[in-house]
Every structure is written in C-alpha cells, then in structure tokens.
C-alpha cells in the first residue's frame, strides 16, 4: 500500500515508575533524513533507534522526540558528598561561635545545602534500551497507520485524475486519426479556389500532405503517453515505496503532452492538451507527498 510521507505517531510505555514517551512526525523530503532528540541517558541508543526507523521508513524528514521520566531506583543513584557536608557543618559551627547565634542543624537541613546530594545515572543500559524500544515500536505502528490512511486517500485522488487524463488522451486519439484527412480536404478545396479545376498537380499535393502528416503525427507520443498512464496505475497499487518512480513517470507524461500540443494543428487537441497538463500538475503536487 502506498504511504504518505507526512504522519505522526506517539508511543508511551510505563514500567515500575519509568515512563517513556516517543513522538514521531515527518514531512516531505527527497531522501531519508532522521533527527533524534532524546535525554542524555538515552544517547547511547540513538543508532539503534535510527536503524529501527530506517527498517520501516525509506523516505521523508523524520523527527523523533523522546522523553524519559524515572520515578524508580532503576537507572539512577543518589550520592552524598560527605566531605562537603562536614565542611558545611564545621563552618556553620564556627559562625555560631563568632556570632553567638545558637547552632541548630538537622540532617535534613544539611541535605538541602548546595551540592550535598547528587542524583547520578547508573549503568543500566540493557533495561533502559529494551524499554525505550517498546515505546518506539508503539509510536511507529501508529505513525505508519496514519501514513497508510493518508496514502489511501492519495491513491484515490491520483486514480481519479489519471483516469481523467486517460479519457482526454482517448479523445485526442480520435481527433488525431482524422487530422490528415481533414487537412487533405481543406488543402484540395483551397487549391481549387485559387487554381482552375483540373490543373492541380496531384504529385505536389501528395507531397504536401506527406510533409504535413510527418510534422503533425502524434501517434508515437500518444502510444507512449498511454503506456505511462498504464504504468502509473500499476505503480500506485504496489506495496513498496514508489514516490521517485511516480515522479519520473509524471515528468515523461508532461514531456509527451507538450510534444503533442506543439505538433497537433487542431483546436480540439490543443484544448485537450491544456486539460491534461492541468491534471498532470495536480498529480505532480500530490506525489510529492508519497514515500
């Protein structure tokens, strides 16, 4: 199924007081560009996170935001700066003696002094790494689901537009089949107006018709355009990323359409070309959203 390059997914995992929240969002991009923002404790897992995302997402500018709240003893430890605490107490005692202010200090009071208690991260990488991946996978599932939903809507719109183009191409094909005959009749009528009946140089007339036929023939362009349309309709039904292929096909469709417009000497064909180019431009904008 075709996927849109835009999407959002949030995954949350909580276990024993540890809460992981992973937000993934993406926008259009020509290539894959993954940015991960996470707390320092999770920096060691950035490569693992990138690799996991790359397994399921091939294109887009992807921003990953990870938050981690730890209310358990796992992953953290508290260190008491004993020497600094003793120095605080010693200096406060001296101040008490010098100022005659009663010395009264509890253990809780000491713990509140600057730099006495320090919370440090413990080396618990395996546990933290496994748990953050649970949240990441949850976010990816929701993210991909949203991309698939938007992709489905894109396919519906693209199919409608391509079928409109297909209809216009069929109309142009009908007009192109009568171009030479119409030109022949008009040329003969014009020559007969200018010259006396019976003195028309049939060889010269045939030569002019051949030249016109060669210049105005759009059969090859129509055949290639129909082939591109068929390929386009097949590609949007594939499961693999096809955004770049579709972009190439649209360029080719536009090129063939321009050639048809420049060669065909017919108002109806010109009008059809304008309508086709309008739909191609709409398609070009839409496929910029496809992975």
Mean pLDDT of 249-276: 88
pLDDT at 242 over 60: yes
Higher per-residue confidence, 154 vs 71: 154
Mean per-residue pLDDT for 130-154?
A: 93
Most confident among 20-24, 86-90, 214-218 (mean pLDDT): 20-24
Looking at the fold, whether 185 and 252 belong to one and the same domain comes out as: yes
pLDDT single digits (tens) 162-211: 999 999 999 888 877 666 555 555 555 555 554 555 555 566 555 555 55
More confident residue, 152 or 188: 152
72: Cα within 13 Å, side-chain hemisphere? 13
Domain-embedded: residue 63? yes
Q: Is residue 1 part of a domain?
A: no
Please report, rounded to a whole number, the percentage of residues in the chain having pLDDT higher than 90. Answer: 39
Q: What is the pLDDT of residue 188?
A: 55
Asked, for residue 246, whether it belongs to a domain, the answer is: yes
162 & 254 share domain: yes
Taken as a whole, the chain contains a residue count of 291
- Say yes or no: 134 and 234 in one domain: no
CA–CA distance, 132 with 52 (Å, rounded to integer): 12
pTM (2 d.p.):
0.65
Q: Which residue has the tokens 């490569």?
A: 47
| Shared-domain flag, residues 86 and 192 | no
In angstroms, rounded to a whole number, what is the distance separating the alpha carbons of residues 290 and 284? 10
Residue 178 φ then ψ, to 5°? -110, 0
Q: Is residue 237 part of a domain?
A: yes
Give the pLDDT confidence score for residue 70 in this predicted structure.
79
Rg value, the chain, Cα? 37
Q: What's the confidence (pLDDT) of residue 113?
A: 82
Domain match, 141 and 259 both: no
For position 278, what pLDDT does the model report? Answer: 94
> In the prediction, which pLDDT does 158 show?
93
pLDDT at 110 over 90: no
Give the mean pLDDT of the chain.
Answer: 83
2 is a domain residue = no
Q: Is residue 269 part of a domain?
A: yes
Give the pLDDT confidence score for residue 253 in this predicted structure.
Answer: 95
Query: What does the block give as tokens for 149?
Result: 């939903």
Q: And the tokens for 12?
A: 């949350």
Q: State which residues form the domain around 250.
A: 150-287
Question: How distant, in Å, are the alpha carbons of 103, 106, 112 from that of 109?
Answer: 12, 5, 5
Give the mean pLDDT of 113-131: 77
Digit-coded pLDDT (tens) for 23-78: 999 998 888 899 999 988 888 899 999 999 999 888 889 999 999 987 766 556 77
What are the distances in angstroms from CA 107 to CA 110, 112, 113, 118?
A: 5, 9, 10, 16
Kindly state whether residues 135 and 46 are assigned to the same domain: yes
134 and 62 within one domain: yes
Compute the average pLDDT of residues 114-128: 74
Task: Report the C-alpha gap between 41 and 68 in whole angstroms.
Answer: 9
Q: Which residues pair with 8 in a beta bridge?
A: 25
Rounded to the nearest 10°, the torsion over CA 259, 260, 264, 267 is -120
DSSP assignment string, 171-228: HHHHHHTTHHHHHHHHHHHHHHHHS-TT---HHHHHHHHHHHHHHH--HHHHHHHHHH
249, 232 Cβ separation under 8 angstroms: yes
The larger pLDDT score, comparing residue 140 to residue 196, is at: 140
19, 134: one domain: yes
Residue pair 230/182 in contact by the 8 Å Cβ criterion: no
Q: Which two tokens stand for residue 288?
A: 């910029």
Distances (CA, A) of 257 to 217, 246, 264: 13, 16, 11
Q: Name residue, tokens 């995992």.
A: 13
């Amino acid at each position: 199924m075709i996927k849109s390059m835009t999407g959002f997914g949030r995954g949350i995992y909580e276990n024993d007081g540890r809460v992981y929240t992973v937000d993934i969002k993406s926008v259009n991009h020509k290539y894959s560009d993954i940015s991960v923002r996470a707390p320092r404790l999770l920096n060691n897992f950035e490569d693992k996170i990138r690799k996991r995302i790359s397994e399921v997402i091939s294109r887009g500018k992807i921003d990953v935001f990870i938050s981690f709240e730890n209310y358990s003893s796992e992953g953290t430890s508290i260190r008491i700066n004993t020497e600094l605490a003793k120095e605080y107490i010693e200096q406060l005692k001296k101040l008490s003696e010098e100022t005659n202010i009663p010395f009264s200090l509890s253990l809780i009071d000491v713990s509140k002094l600057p730099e006495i208690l320090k919370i440090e991260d413990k080396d618990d990488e395996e546990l933290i790494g496994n748990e953050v991946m649970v949240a990441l996978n949850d976010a990816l599932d929701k993210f991909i689901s949203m991309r698939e939903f938007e992709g489905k809507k894109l396919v519906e719109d693209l199919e409608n537009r391509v079928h409109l183009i297909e209809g216009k191409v069929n109309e142009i094909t009908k007009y192109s089949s009568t171009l030479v005959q119409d030109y022949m009749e008009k040329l003969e009528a014009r020559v007969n107006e200018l010259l006396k009946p019976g003195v028309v140089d049939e060889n010269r007339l045939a030569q002019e018709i051949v030249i016109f036929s060669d210049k105005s023939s759009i059969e090859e362009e129509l055949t290639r355009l129909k082939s591109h349309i068929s390929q386009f309709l097949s590609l949007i039904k594939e499961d693999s990323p096809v955004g770049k292929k579709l972009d190439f096909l649209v360029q080719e469709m536009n090129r063939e359409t321009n050639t048809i417009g420049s060669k065909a000497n017919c108002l109806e064909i010109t009008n059809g070309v304008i309508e086709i180019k309008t739909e191609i431009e709409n398609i070009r904008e839409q496929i910029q959203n496809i992975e």
